Structure 1
Amino acid sequence: MLVQSYLMFNGRCEEAIEFYRKALGAEVTMMMRFKENPEPMTEGCGPGGGAIPGDNIMHASFKIGETEVMASDGMGSNGKPEFKGFSLSLTAASDAEAQRLFKALGDGGKVEMPMTQTFFASAFGMVADRFGVSWMVINPRPMP
Protein backbone atom coordinates (compact mmCIF):
# COMPACT_ATOMS: atom_id res chain seq x y z
CA MET A 1 0.00 0.00 0.00
CA LEU A 2 1.17 3.51 -0.81
CA VAL A 3 -0.17 6.81 0.52
CA GLN A 4 0.79 9.97 -1.37
CA SER A 5 0.08 13.66 -1.04
CA TYR A 6 -2.10 15.23 -3.76
CA LEU A 7 -2.22 19.02 -3.57
CA MET A 8 -4.89 21.16 -5.27
CA PHE A 9 -3.76 24.67 -6.19
CA ASN A 10 -6.87 26.20 -7.82
CA GLY A 11 -5.11 27.81 -10.77
CA ARG A 12 -1.64 28.20 -9.24
CA CYS A 13 -0.32 24.66 -9.75
CA GLU A 14 2.31 25.51 -12.35
CA GLU A 15 3.51 28.44 -10.23
CA ALA A 16 3.71 26.18 -7.16
CA ILE A 17 5.69 23.51 -9.00
CA GLU A 18 8.16 26.11 -10.26
CA PHE A 19 8.49 27.42 -6.68
CA TYR A 20 9.23 23.89 -5.39
CA ARG A 21 11.78 23.39 -8.19
CA LYS A 22 13.68 26.46 -7.04
CA ALA A 23 13.18 26.08 -3.28
CA LEU A 24 13.54 22.30 -2.92
CA GLY A 25 15.06 21.03 -6.16
CA ALA A 26 11.79 19.33 -7.14
CA GLU A 27 11.92 17.33 -10.37
CA VAL A 28 8.78 17.17 -12.50
CA THR A 29 8.12 13.62 -13.68
CA MET A 30 4.76 14.24 -15.39
CA MET A 31 2.55 17.21 -16.26
CA MET A 32 -0.71 17.23 -18.22
CA ARG A 33 -2.90 20.24 -18.94
CA PHE A 34 -6.69 20.09 -19.10
CA LYS A 35 -6.57 20.83 -22.84
CA GLU A 36 -4.46 17.68 -23.33
CA ASN A 37 -7.14 15.44 -21.82
CA PRO A 38 -8.02 12.77 -24.42
CA GLU A 39 -11.57 12.49 -23.07
CA PRO A 40 -14.27 15.19 -23.09
CA MET A 41 -14.31 17.22 -19.87
CA THR A 42 -17.36 17.20 -17.69
CA GLU A 43 -18.37 20.03 -15.42
CA GLY A 44 -17.42 19.71 -11.79
CA CYS A 45 -13.63 19.78 -11.53
CA GLY A 46 -13.34 23.54 -11.65
CA PRO A 47 -13.83 26.21 -9.03
CA GLY A 48 -17.40 26.07 -7.79
CA GLY A 49 -18.02 23.01 -9.99
CA GLY A 50 -17.42 24.90 -13.26
CA ALA A 51 -15.02 24.43 -16.15
CA ILE A 52 -11.28 24.91 -15.84
CA PRO A 53 -9.16 26.84 -18.38
CA GLY A 54 -7.36 24.50 -20.78
CA ASP A 55 -3.87 25.72 -19.83
CA ASN A 56 -4.39 24.80 -16.17
CA ILE A 57 -2.75 21.65 -14.82
CA MET A 58 -4.97 18.57 -14.80
CA HIS A 59 -2.36 16.34 -13.19
CA ALA A 60 1.30 16.67 -12.30
CA SER A 61 3.77 14.52 -10.43
CA PHE A 62 7.04 15.75 -9.04
CA LYS A 63 9.74 14.35 -6.81
CA ILE A 64 11.24 16.06 -3.82
CA GLY A 65 14.18 13.87 -2.89
CA GLU A 66 12.78 10.34 -2.89
CA THR A 67 9.16 11.38 -2.36
CA GLU A 68 6.62 11.77 -5.13
CA VAL A 69 4.01 14.49 -4.70
CA MET A 70 1.04 14.94 -7.02
CA ALA A 71 -0.72 18.20 -7.80
CA SER A 72 -3.52 19.74 -9.86
CA ASP A 73 -5.57 22.85 -10.49
CA GLY A 74 -8.75 20.74 -10.39
CA MET A 75 -11.23 20.27 -7.58
CA GLY A 76 -10.53 23.76 -6.32
CA SER A 77 -12.91 26.03 -4.53
CA ASN A 78 -13.77 29.59 -5.36
CA GLY A 79 -10.90 31.77 -4.28
CA LYS A 80 -7.74 30.70 -2.49
CA PRO A 81 -6.96 27.00 -1.94
CA GLU A 82 -6.95 25.95 1.71
CA PHE A 83 -4.53 23.42 3.13
CA LYS A 84 -5.74 22.72 6.65
CA GLY A 85 -5.25 19.89 9.09
CA PHE A 86 -1.94 18.54 7.76
CA SER A 87 1.70 19.42 7.11
CA LEU A 88 4.30 17.99 4.80
CA SER A 89 7.40 17.02 6.77
CA LEU A 90 10.78 17.57 5.14
CA THR A 91 13.81 15.83 6.68
CA ALA A 92 17.12 17.60 6.15
CA ALA A 93 20.56 15.98 6.31
CA SER A 94 22.07 18.82 8.38
CA ASP A 95 21.12 21.87 10.38
CA ALA A 96 22.48 24.09 7.60
CA GLU A 97 20.30 22.32 5.03
CA ALA A 98 17.28 22.59 7.35
CA GLN A 99 17.86 26.35 7.66
CA ARG A 100 18.25 26.73 3.87
CA LEU A 101 15.05 24.75 3.12
CA PHE A 102 13.09 26.58 5.83
CA LYS A 103 14.16 29.97 4.46
CA ALA A 104 13.38 28.95 0.86
CA LEU A 105 9.90 27.65 1.75
CA GLY A 106 9.20 30.75 3.84
CA ASP A 107 9.91 33.14 0.95
CA GLY A 108 6.53 34.82 0.54
CA GLY A 109 5.02 32.55 3.18
CA LYS A 110 4.50 32.68 6.92
CA VAL A 111 6.62 31.26 9.74
CA GLU A 112 4.40 29.19 12.02
CA MET A 113 7.22 28.16 14.39
CA PRO A 114 10.74 29.58 14.03
CA MET A 115 13.60 27.16 13.42
CA THR A 116 14.91 26.00 16.79
CA GLN A 117 16.47 23.08 18.67
CA THR A 118 14.18 20.61 20.41
CA PHE A 119 14.61 17.39 22.36
CA PHE A 120 13.84 15.46 19.15
CA ALA A 121 15.69 17.59 16.59
CA SER A 122 18.81 19.70 16.34
CA ALA A 123 16.79 21.88 13.94
CA PHE A 124 12.99 22.05 13.67
CA GLY A 125 10.62 24.68 12.36
CA MET A 126 7.19 25.06 10.79
CA VAL A 127 6.35 27.34 7.88
CA ALA A 128 3.39 27.83 5.54
CA ASP A 129 4.64 28.54 2.03
CA ARG A 130 3.19 31.23 -0.27
CA PHE A 131 0.50 28.78 -1.43
CA GLY A 132 -0.68 28.00 2.11
CA VAL A 133 0.91 24.52 2.30
CA SER A 134 2.24 23.87 5.81
CA TRP A 135 5.74 22.36 6.07
CA MET A 136 7.66 20.98 9.03
CA VAL A 137 11.41 21.09 8.38
CA ILE A 138 13.49 18.84 10.61
CA ASN A 139 16.98 17.55 11.18
CA PRO A 140 16.14 14.84 13.73
CA ARG A 141 18.35 13.83 16.64
CA PRO A 142 19.22 10.15 16.80
CA MET A 143 16.89 8.48 19.28
CA PRO A 144 18.49 6.26 21.94
Structure 2
Amino acid sequence: MQLNHYLNFQGKTEAAFNFYKSVFGGEFSFLKKYSELPDAQVSDKEKDYILHVSLPINEFTILMGSDTSDQFCAQSSTVFTQGTNHYISINLDASEQAEAKRLFDALAINGQIEMPLEKTFWGALYGAFTDQFGVKWMVNCQLEEM
Protein backbone atom coordinates (compact mmCIF):
# COMPACT_ATOMS: atom_id res chain seq x y z
CA MET A 1 0.00 0.00 0.00
CA GLN A 2 1.14 3.51 -0.75
CA LEU A 3 -0.29 6.81 0.58
CA ASN A 4 -0.03 9.85 -1.69
CA HIS A 5 -1.26 13.42 -1.74
CA TYR A 6 -4.03 14.22 -4.22
CA LEU A 7 -4.74 17.87 -5.01
CA ASN A 8 -7.82 19.35 -6.69
CA PHE A 9 -7.95 22.64 -8.52
CA GLN A 10 -10.49 24.44 -10.63
CA GLY A 11 -8.85 24.93 -14.00
CA LYS A 12 -5.34 25.45 -12.56
CA THR A 13 -4.01 21.88 -12.30
CA GLU A 14 -1.83 22.08 -15.41
CA ALA A 15 -0.19 25.33 -14.27
CA ALA A 16 0.22 24.05 -10.70
CA PHE A 17 1.76 20.75 -11.77
CA ASN A 18 4.10 22.39 -14.28
CA PHE A 19 5.27 24.53 -11.35
CA TYR A 20 5.69 21.48 -9.07
CA LYS A 21 7.59 19.70 -11.88
CA SER A 22 9.95 22.70 -12.13
CA VAL A 23 10.60 22.48 -8.38
CA PHE A 24 10.84 18.69 -7.89
CA GLY A 25 12.07 17.72 -11.37
CA GLY A 26 11.06 14.54 -13.16
CA GLU A 27 8.36 13.89 -15.72
CA PHE A 28 4.64 13.22 -15.49
CA SER A 29 3.99 9.49 -15.41
CA PHE A 30 0.33 10.05 -16.36
CA LEU A 31 -1.53 13.02 -17.82
CA LYS A 32 -5.08 12.94 -19.23
CA LYS A 33 -7.53 15.73 -19.95
CA TYR A 34 -11.32 15.67 -19.63
CA SER A 35 -11.59 15.76 -23.44
CA GLU A 36 -9.94 12.31 -23.49
CA LEU A 37 -12.75 10.67 -21.48
CA PRO A 38 -14.72 7.99 -23.30
CA ASP A 39 -17.90 9.72 -24.54
CA ALA A 40 -16.63 13.04 -23.14
CA GLN A 41 -19.46 15.47 -22.58
CA VAL A 42 -17.70 18.46 -21.10
CA SER A 43 -18.12 22.17 -21.68
CA ASP A 44 -15.69 24.06 -23.90
CA LYS A 45 -14.40 25.73 -20.73
CA GLU A 46 -13.53 22.35 -19.20
CA LYS A 47 -12.30 20.35 -22.21
CA ASP A 48 -8.66 21.19 -21.43
CA TYR A 49 -9.07 20.63 -17.68
CA ILE A 50 -6.87 17.89 -16.25
CA LEU A 51 -8.73 14.64 -15.49
CA HIS A 52 -5.67 13.15 -13.75
CA VAL A 53 -1.96 13.87 -13.50
CA SER A 54 0.76 11.96 -11.64
CA LEU A 55 4.20 13.40 -10.84
CA PRO A 56 6.61 10.95 -9.17
CA ILE A 57 8.57 12.81 -6.49
CA ASN A 58 10.73 9.90 -5.37
CA GLU A 59 10.47 6.10 -5.17
CA PHE A 60 7.92 6.36 -2.32
CA THR A 61 5.81 9.39 -3.25
CA ILE A 62 3.67 10.47 -6.20
CA LEU A 63 1.98 13.86 -6.21
CA MET A 64 -1.36 13.53 -8.02
CA GLY A 65 -4.14 15.92 -8.95
CA SER A 66 -7.05 16.92 -11.15
CA ASP A 67 -9.37 19.78 -11.98
CA THR A 68 -12.87 19.62 -10.56
CA SER A 69 -15.59 19.94 -13.17
CA ASP A 70 -18.90 21.74 -12.69
CA GLN A 71 -20.71 18.55 -13.75
CA PHE A 72 -18.92 16.36 -11.19
CA CYS A 73 -19.45 18.86 -8.37
CA ALA A 74 -23.18 19.02 -9.16
CA GLN A 75 -23.51 15.20 -9.29
CA SER A 76 -21.69 14.61 -6.01
CA SER A 77 -22.89 17.72 -4.13
CA THR A 78 -19.24 18.68 -3.75
CA VAL A 79 -18.25 22.31 -3.58
CA PHE A 80 -14.74 23.29 -4.62
CA THR A 81 -13.10 25.39 -1.92
CA GLN A 82 -9.52 26.53 -2.34
CA GLY A 83 -7.55 25.33 0.67
CA THR A 84 -9.65 22.21 1.30
CA ASN A 85 -8.81 20.69 -2.07
CA HIS A 86 -6.69 17.84 -0.75
CA TYR A 87 -7.24 14.08 -0.49
CA ILE A 88 -5.19 11.29 1.00
CA SER A 89 -4.96 8.69 -1.74
CA ILE A 90 -4.53 5.03 -0.77
CA ASN A 91 -3.07 3.08 -3.69
CA LEU A 92 -3.08 -0.71 -3.79
CA ASP A 93 -2.32 -3.30 -6.43
CA ALA A 94 -4.66 -5.92 -7.90
CA SER A 95 -3.78 -8.52 -5.26
CA GLU A 96 -5.10 -6.22 -2.51
CA GLN A 97 -8.77 -5.88 -3.57
CA ALA A 98 -10.07 -7.24 -0.25
CA GLU A 99 -7.89 -4.78 1.65
CA ALA A 100 -9.12 -1.91 -0.56
CA LYS A 101 -12.71 -2.80 0.33
CA ARG A 102 -11.87 -3.19 4.02
CA LEU A 103 -10.13 0.18 4.19
CA PHE A 104 -12.89 1.94 2.23
CA ASP A 105 -15.66 0.47 4.39
CA ALA A 106 -13.84 1.08 7.68
CA LEU A 107 -12.68 4.63 6.99
CA ALA A 108 -16.06 5.69 5.54
CA ILE A 109 -18.06 4.71 8.66
CA ASN A 110 -20.17 7.73 9.69
CA GLY A 111 -18.68 9.67 6.78
CA GLN A 112 -20.06 10.88 3.45
CA ILE A 113 -19.41 8.78 0.34
CA GLU A 114 -18.61 10.90 -2.70
CA MET A 115 -18.17 7.95 -5.07
CA PRO A 116 -18.83 4.33 -4.06
CA LEU A 117 -16.03 1.79 -4.39
CA GLU A 118 -16.55 0.29 -7.85
CA LYS A 119 -14.71 -0.69 -11.04
CA THR A 120 -13.85 2.28 -13.25
CA PHE A 121 -13.06 2.90 -16.92
CA TRP A 122 -9.38 3.27 -16.03
CA GLY A 123 -9.23 -0.33 -14.84
CA ALA A 124 -9.28 0.21 -11.08
CA LEU A 125 -11.50 -0.41 -8.11
CA TYR A 126 -11.98 3.19 -6.93
CA GLY A 127 -14.00 5.16 -4.42
CA ALA A 128 -13.85 8.50 -2.61
CA PHE A 129 -15.37 9.81 0.61
CA THR A 130 -15.02 12.25 3.47
CA ASP A 131 -14.56 10.52 6.81
CA GLN A 132 -16.41 11.40 10.00
CA PHE A 133 -13.64 13.87 10.91
CA GLY A 134 -13.81 15.80 7.62
CA VAL A 135 -10.73 14.20 6.03
CA LYS A 136 -11.07 13.43 2.31
CA TRP A 137 -9.88 9.99 1.14
CA MET A 138 -9.53 8.13 -2.16
CA VAL A 139 -9.03 4.37 -2.45
CA ASN A 140 -7.60 3.18 -5.77
CA CYS A 141 -6.85 -0.52 -6.33
CA GLN A 142 -5.33 -0.81 -9.81
CA LEU A 143 -6.67 -3.97 -11.46
CA GLU A 144 -5.31 -3.45 -14.99
CA GLU A 145 -2.20 -1.82 -16.46
CA MET A 146 -2.70 1.84 -17.35
Fold-level match, TM-score > 0.5?
no
Bigger radius of gyration, 1 or 2?
A: 1
* TM-score band w.r.t. shorter chain: 0.3 to 0.5
